[in-house]
Amino acid sequence: MNSRSQFHAWLAVALLAALPFLADVPALAQTPPAATPLDARVVPGTPPTLQLLVPPAPGAEGAPRPRVVQVVVDREALADALIRDQTDELWQDIGKVNGVLRDAGGDPLWYVMCSDAADPEKVRIGIANFNLNDGGAAPLLSGNKELRILLPLRAGDRSLPLQVSTGASIDQLSAPVVVEARLEKPVDVDQEAKVRFNADVATPLTLALGAPVTLSWKIVDCVQATLSGPIDYRQPVLAITPENGVCAGSKKVLALGPATYQLTAEIAGKQGSRVSVVVTRTVTLDVRRFDQFANLTLTPPSVLPGGKVLARWYIRELPVDDRREAVLSWTDANGNRRLQRLRASASQTTSGEMSFAVPQSASATDTSVRLHYGEETIARSFDIERWQPAGASALATGALRGLDFAGGKLVLCSEKGLFLADVGAGGGIGSDGSGKTNDPFPPFARVPLRIGERPEAAGAAANRQPLQDAPCLAVRAIDADRVAVLAQIDTPVPGRPAYAELTLLSPREQVASYPVTLTDDPINTTAAQRRDYQLGMLRGRLFVQVQIGPVDRTGSLNARSTVRAFSIVESDMRTGKAGWRTEPALSSIELSPNYGWHLVDGFGTDNEFLFLINDINGKTLRFEASPDSAKRLAQARASGSPARLTAAREAVEIEYPMPAKEMGKEWAAALSAGPVTNVGGVIVGLGAGLAYNPQTNEWQQGSFGLTGSAGAAAAYRGDGEPRLWLMKANGDRLSLTVESPRLFAADYFENTRAASLPYLVLGAKVTTRTREARNWKTENRTELAKTGERSEMVTCTAKGVTSTVPMVVSEFTLFYPDRPFELVGRGADRKTDVSKAHLGAGKWDTTTSLDSCETVRIEPIPVPSP
């Protein structure tokens, strides 16, 4: 027998010895009857609870008097937290378990204890105002309090029988009152009607910083409530007490950032019910961030020292706040921080732009441009790129004629022949200024070039010198692995035709093959001449331009200069047949003067454009394939047939010059001070500090970090690691990582990326309702993505007749620049029947279609952050 069983046996013997009459007349019959009525119920929840209301003891006013309430309940019904391991003490303290007692009124705690009942399947819960294990303990508080007892249960899906006794001590309890605690679900409370919690602002998520907000609440049938949130730094929680069953009040707070205020209210159930329900309501406040109604972009995202950055800003609507104004800050060319107030108001949309120069010294530059509005700031940064010097070449290359990249090698074309350099994907520059292994620009070397099997070619010299030693006239990469080289196979003699041999060189294998001889005009015997050869490509054809002019260019060029142009297709080069043909468009008599033209080919599929740029008068001429040629090329590409594509390329015809923006005579003279090359679709004059953007037809002046030099050569690689190489006439070698052509042209953009648009990007949700599905298009400076499409019956009036017609409802997300363009929907008949024009400044026109039933709805949306 354990100590607990011994204690119980001793207690029973003692009671029988002291009270032999208990078997006949129970002592409990002499105690006052239990107070009635008792209110008991089982309420499901987490956990379910037994809720019991015990009225005050009669005549308990005055000095504290002992009071005991005993509840006998099924052991299996109580939660595990109330059932403890057995101890030697008759009663175990459970007063801190899940808040068994409620509404103690601020008096000292009652003792809440439990013990075994006579029936082993039941347990006794004792609640007293003194310690039940100490018979001599004095009562701690008066017994005139109504007790609300909540006992956590294991399950609450059934009614629960229990016995309740009350008295002045555990030995003087009333006869037990048997109570059926019936199952009662929580009373459905109309939360909206009983709990109101709101703020005195119409749009609590777009507040100005520091705006005062008054939170107010009213809770009917309130038992108690709390308000939590950033009320102030000393008071994160505010207790709310009821007055006549209502909790009402207000609190003023300041909107200093995102904040959530939570009102937790305990309310009574139906009238007469003591079942409590906890209701939680929230109010969320948020400061309207500056970037929600304003934007700032910088172009280009990276720039060379001394270059220019264009800052564009857009402010849709300012909050009404006289204490703040919009300000732009940046660093000027002298390294000084500048501020510019911007005109903006709450009633209109404003936008603007400003160009500023970057200091030559990168250490003096703050590369951030900031748009301020009070304490809020939108900051954008640009990168400053630098050329990497790689020392000077020790080779005697003579005059440089060109530079290009293919097959993992740079090919340098000079009057002393061809030189190759292995180009890695990284590396760097050593402390001595020379290139490391895998250097982006290692030294050149003369590499023997093997001539492959050569078909017959008319006019070829029998005893020509090795290709690597022959004077090189021009070089141009025609694909990733091959370079077209134009070499001088014999010495020009006055009065005789001049010969140039076109060779396809594979730098990786160091093999040249399929040379084709090109014969141009005889050399003029009456005056010294200079011949300038240039190579380019257009739609799969290789072009050679030969310019013949005087050695002294200070005199008149027109009388003694000519421009001739030839082209050849790859099959002619492959078979060795003399397939050269003249290209009158590139050597037209309309070219004036007839010298000083830089030939630069274009970009895109099959090299879409050819450009001629004159360094005497600044003219720019632009060529492309004829419409018929372009159509045949598109059809051949769509067919997927390589043979058809090759045939279409070989049949290309080019148009006569298209209008193009002239650079101007004042800039043209500087164009000869360095090479002109195509950098990812932007034509860059490295000596003049000029760039031409074919997509905007604009010349832009800037600083490229170097002034360039006459007689230099440059090459561009546009693969996964784009890089630009520059070789000066004195042998200096430099390279530059070119992440984007916008390094040279601030308004350059990639067609498929809205983030690269040259203007500030706006966003819109577009909803169209049309009688049939439309093919919706904008232009290549926008991004239009369909998000959904459905059918819908719409009632509309057309030509005075009202009817319900089926419509196709399409939804799109549109990102677009803040400048004029059209949104067009075309039907299956390819006729333009629905259109809407953007007028700039965030405005759209109001007319979309001659059919009034067809509509286009534009709703502004935020633009994702870059």
User: What pLDDT, on the 0 to 100 scale, is given for residue 270?
Assistant: 59
Given the DSSP bridges, would you call strands 172-173 and 177-183 parallel, antiparallel or unpaired? Answer: unpaired
Distance of CA 59 to the CA centre of its chain: 75
Beta strands in 478-558 (DSSP E): 483-488, 497-506, 511-522, 529-538, 541-550
The series of mean pLDDT values per 10 residues for the chain, 866 residues long, is 42 38 35 60 82 79 81 90 78 76 62 89 89 78 76 83 89 89 72 82 78 90 88 80 90 85 82 63 81 79 82 74 79 86 71 82 76 85 86 92 92 95 64 58 90 54 74 90 86 68 88 78 68 88 87 68 85 73 81 87 76 90 87 89 86 84 88 90 90 86 80 88 90 87 73 47 88 84 88 84 90 85 82 80 79 86 66
- Residue 546 neighbours by CB under 8 Å, 6+ apart: 520, 521, 531, 532, 533, 563, 564, 565, 566
For 695-711, b/e burial (b = at least 16 CB within 10 A) is beeebbebbbbbebbeb
Cα–Cα distance between 265 and 254 in angstroms, integer?
Answer: 23
Contact at 8 Å (CB) between 526 and 466?
Answer: no
Cα–Cα distance between 618 and 596 in angstroms, integer?
Answer: 10
DSSP track, 282-344: EEEE-B--GGGTEEEEEESSEE-TT-EEEEEEEES---S-TT--EEEEEE-TTS-EEEEE---
Q: Is pTM beyond 0.75 here?
A: no
Cα–Cα distance between 383 and 341 in angstroms, integer?
Answer: 25
Cα–Cα distance between 814 and 859 in angstroms, integer?
Answer: 10
Q: How far apart are the first and last CA of the chain?
A: 79
Helix, strand or coil, per DSSP, at residue 257 = coil
Other C-beta atoms closer than 10 Å to the C-beta of 565 total 25
For residue 567, what are the β-bridge partners?
A: 543, 581
| Closest to 580 (Cα-Cα) out of 601, 591, 594, 565 | 565
User: What pLDDT, on the 0 to 100 scale, is given for residue 411?
Assistant: 96
User: What pLDDT, on the 0 to 100 scale, is given for residue 2?
Assistant: 41
Other C-beta atoms closer than 10 Å to the C-beta of 395 total 15
Given the DSSP bridges, would you call strands 698-701 and 761-770 parallel, antiparallel or unpaired? Answer: unpaired
User: What pLDDT, on the 0 to 100 scale, is given for residue 689?
Assistant: 87
Given the DSSP bridges, would you call strands 698-701 and 690-693 parallel, antiparallel or unpaired? Answer: antiparallel
Query: 435: which DSSP letter?
Result: B
Other C-beta atoms closer than 10 Å to the C-beta of 22 total 12
User: What pLDDT, on the 0 to 100 scale, is given for residue 32?
Assistant: 46
The model's pLDDT over 822-833, given as tens digits with 9 standing for 90+, comes to 898 888 776 667
Q: Which two tokens stand for residue 272?
A: 């007469």
User: What pLDDT, on the 0 to 100 scale, is given for residue 276?
Assistant: 65
Contact at 8 Å (CB) between 140 and 108?
Answer: yes
Q: Which two tokens stand for residue 865?
A: 């952050």
Cα–Cα distance between 390 and 196 in angstroms, integer?
Answer: 74
- If 0-12 CB within 10 Å is exposed, 13-18 middle and 19+ buried, where does residue 199 land? middle
Q: Which two tokens stand for residue 270?
A: 């139906």
Given the DSSP bridges, would you call strands 855-861 and 761-770 parallel, antiparallel or unpaired? Answer: antiparallel
Contact at 8 Å (CB) between 774 and 834?
Answer: yes
Q: 348 vs 156, 205, 318, 319, 736, CA distance in Å?
A: 62, 21, 8, 11, 44
User: What pLDDT, on the 0 to 100 scale, is given for residue 210?
Assistant: 73
Contact at 8 Å (CB) between 333 and 356?
Answer: yes
| Closest to 835 (Cα-Cα) out of 777, 795, 782 | 777
Q: 154 vs 43, 52, 77, 112, 160, CA distance in Å?
A: 12, 17, 6, 19, 12
Q: 461 vs 119, 464, 518, 575, 728, CA distance in Å?
A: 124, 6, 12, 19, 32
Cα-atom radius of gyration of the chain, to the nearest Å? Answer: 46
Cα–Cα distance between 757 and 749 in angstroms, integer?
Answer: 5
The secondary element (H helix, E strand) that includes residue 642 is helix 642-650
Q: Which two tokens stand for residue 848?
A: 């979309």
The model's pLDDT over 347-381, given as tens digits with 9 standing for 90+, comes to 666 778 888 888 877 665 688 999 988 778 899 98
User: What pLDDT, on the 0 to 100 scale, is given for residue 247?
Assistant: 93
Is-cis flag, bond preceding 212, omega within 30?
no
670 phi and psi, to 5 degrees? -80, -10
Cα–Cα distance between 207 and 319 in angstroms, integer?
Answer: 8
User: What pLDDT, on the 0 to 100 scale, is given for residue 23?
Assistant: 33
Contact at 8 Å (CB) between 523 and 496?
Answer: yes
